[in-house]
Amino acid sequence: MSSLTIEEAFRTSLGGEPYRHQREAAKAILEGNSVLIRAPCGSGKTEACVLPFLIGRREKLPSRLIYSLPTRALADDVIERITDKANKIGSDTRIAVQHGANSKDPFFKVDLIVATIDQTVGAYCATPLSLPAYLGNIPAGAATSSMLCFDEVHTYDYLLGLQAMRILVRRAQCLRLPCVIMSATLPDTFVEYFADKGFVSVDGRDEDVPKRRDRKVVLHWVGKCLEAADVLEKAVAGKRIIVVCNTVDKAQRICREVEGKLSPVFLLHSRFLPKDRQHIEEEMKTHFRNKKPGCLITTQVCEVGLDVSCDIMLTEIAPPDSLIQRLGRCAREGHEGDAYVFDVENSAPYEREIVEKCKTYVIENWNGEIVGWNKELEVVNSLLSESFERIMKNEDRQWWILDSLAEAAFRGDKTRVEQNVREILNVNLTIHDDPSSLGNNILRMPWLSLDVRLLQREFRRGIRLWSLKWNDDEGGHPSPKISWAENVEPYGYYVVHPDFARYDAVYGLIFGESGRSLTTIPPEEFFNTIHREYHMETWFEHAMKCLDAFEKICIEESSTIELLARLLDSEHKATCGTVSYAVGLHDIGKLNRDWQKAVGARDVPLAHVPFLSGKPPPHATISGYALQGAFQGIRRLAMRSILALAIGHHHHTRAETVDAYRFITDWEKPVAEVCDRIADAYGIGLSLDEIRSFSGPSCLDVKFPGFESIRTYTAYTIVSRLIRLSDQGSFTVSS
């Protein structure tokens, strides 16, 4: 937490006083309210959410913020802005980005995570998209207990991602966790819906933001389709120009046709590898921000988060929210600009009806006019209010999404998670002439994320594809299986032969042209989930180290412990004590005779050994089963079962089978010593008589907690996370 006031934080990080909407939003957030911010493009909505969190976390606000965005590129852009602001105010907040192409914090350990919306939903459902399913309850405990922010929500799929967001927001509100929703292009009906749900609504205005107040963008309707000749005609010496196409193919074609006639020309779209896209974007931003003349040819990727300004914009007609976001890049720094809107032969990738409505509105109301915030709100309310109202009132749709998320959580189904976020489904593609020769290194190939419909189209045209599948096993040892693709399915991994596609660092992925195989990513740049180096360690030593690690985590996760205390109907200290028993005894299943025999224990029970030729029997579910009756101090019976389930899932999130077991002679001695430490520290005891020391084959009471029960599901994910992080942390605790 920073020692600055919120006013000082704004002045220090932005170099001036906060705008009215920033001040109002920050005040409401610091009071613990959920807030909806609707403000013009480039008016500092991100800072209005993030700065109060940096000031108030752990005391006034939760310890962690998960900031969700629609695209990977936007997440990469926003993380830079947030990090810069945090550094300027001297905050010690740990910040990381998390998405499929940049997985810096898949366990959601840091204080502020900038993630794509699908990563947030997957984490919440204990089905992380960047981790094996068996690790799912670690990020889940963060997602269920954090402050949540959803930015650029107008871009979320209305029937899927927007509904999934509403479910997470409603569940957070039930737990008294603040949420923030932000966008520039939301109709009044959307704002009114969340105001009725207890959100504080904050609207921005052009007149409050100097660069918006001085901005004059004149819109011109052009009754023809966009071609390269139009770009060359509108390009004026000394001007910055942005050209926005609705499809990647058209952007690539226009770029090729104007190259050599304009300089420099930058091409930016969704079919670049992350490192190349980042390079292009950084070079282009530097050029444009220095007000040097140049031309950017792009697609919908410019609509969210691309903080650059042009003097002249050429754009194809699009839905009203997309069009407004594009216009927000014209004269973004203030002063004057011209925007030319072109017709299209077909509406793809948008629905024809909404594109035609927007075209009619532009022709009748905007042609030749200065388009500012008030006019932008008018078109949004005119064309989108009715559909948003219908969507927000569709309770059947909400229940359908809730059931589908519950199913995804129960099964650990990543595909189902994605299907609840967006209708446009993706596939992963790389280029290689002999993928079988790569072995496990195929996991280190650079992967492009594509609309599945694009790859299906090319597959029907006859391109040569391999399909890649692997066993994402509970032990984290994937084994790839490569075969000829018989079809193209969403979320699959495919390899195209370089005879059929070319990747170019300037143009991106191009089908129908031959190229070369891509190369694997160096090991030091490739993410590895967990690496543990085991040493000889007694059972008691490991338990003590886990408790030491937990005490540190309690400080970092103070607000999470407070939330858990409310869920358990308990005091803070007693809650820490209860979880300490779960942490300290989570490996009690290793006191099984068969387990100790397998690791070669002799005089003292062991927890880890450096080398082991065979695999010891499972122990985690035995731990949960043995401790099921031990938590008598927890008043709510359902919560006792949840604690036992979290212990049983400290290796595999959805394990349920309990093998027959019998504890070793004198098992009580090390267990009693652990219990004595906890009793002395927290003043609560645990009866060894309630611990089952032997049993035949059995199962845990439940395989997975009911997702629909907000209290029990949240408690399960929090306790699971605390146990597993303490277990991981024990490997860094000094002996």
Q: Is residue 265 a contact partner of residue 521, using CB atoms and an 8 Å limit? A: no
Beta bridge partner(s), residue 496 = 431, 465
pLDDT for the residue 534: 65
CA 401 to chain centre: 18
Q: What is the pLDDT of residue 2?
A: 58
Q: 621 CB contacts (<8 Å, ≥6 apart)?
A: 589, 648, 655, 656, 657, 658, 659, 700
Query: What pLDDT score was predicted for residue 42?
Result: 79
Residues of the chain with pLDDT below 70 are 1-2, 305, 423-424, 470-478, 523-534, 612-613, 633-637, 733-735
- Rg over alpha carbons for the chain, rounded to the nearest Å, is 28
User: Quick one: which of 281, 297, 300, 278 has its CA closest to 289?
Assistant: 281
H/E stretch holding 358 reads helix 352-361
How confident is the model over 682-714, as pLDDT tens digits?
Answer: 998 888 999 999 999 999 988 899 999 999 999
Count of all residues that appear for the chain in the document: 735
Instruction: Match 């068996």 to its residue by tokens.
Output: 134
The per-residue pLDDT for 530 is: 47
Q: Which one-letter amino acid corresponds to residue 516? A: R
With 0-12 / 13-18 / 19 or more C-beta atoms within 10 angstroms meaning exposed / middle / buried, residue 635 is exposed
pLDDT tens per residue, range 378-425: 999 999 888 888 888 888 888 999 999 999 999 999 888 988 887 667
- CA within 13 Å, CB half, 537: 21
Q: Which helix (H) or strand (E) holds 685?
A: none
Give CA torsion, residues 303, 307, 312, 316, to 10 deg: -10
Please state, in angstroms and rounded to a whole number, the distance separating the CA atoms of residues 200 and 30.
Answer: 12
Q: Kindly list the distances between the CA atom of residue 431 and the CA atoms of 178, 270, 416, 444, in Å, as whole numbers in the listed order.
A: 44, 17, 27, 12
The whole-angstrom distance between residue 362's C-alpha and the CA centroid of its chain comes to 35
CA distance 576 to 677: 13
pLDDT of residue 523: 61
Which tokens belong to 483?
């075969």
Domains of the chain with CATH codes: 6-208 (3.40.50.300), 214-376 (3.40.50.300), 425-525 (no CATH), 537-729 (1.10.3210.30)
Strand residue runs (E) in 597-654: 606-608
Q: Tell me the three state secondary structure of residue 180.
A: strand
Structure-token match 């390009």, residue found: 235
Given this model, what pLDDT does residue 633 score?
A: 67
Q: What is the pLDDT of residue 475?
A: 42
What whole-number distance in Å separates Cα of residue 107 and Cα of residue 707?
20
- The string of DSSP codes covering 36-82 is EEE--TTS-HHHHHHHHHHHHBTTTB-S-EEEEES-HHHHHHHHHHH
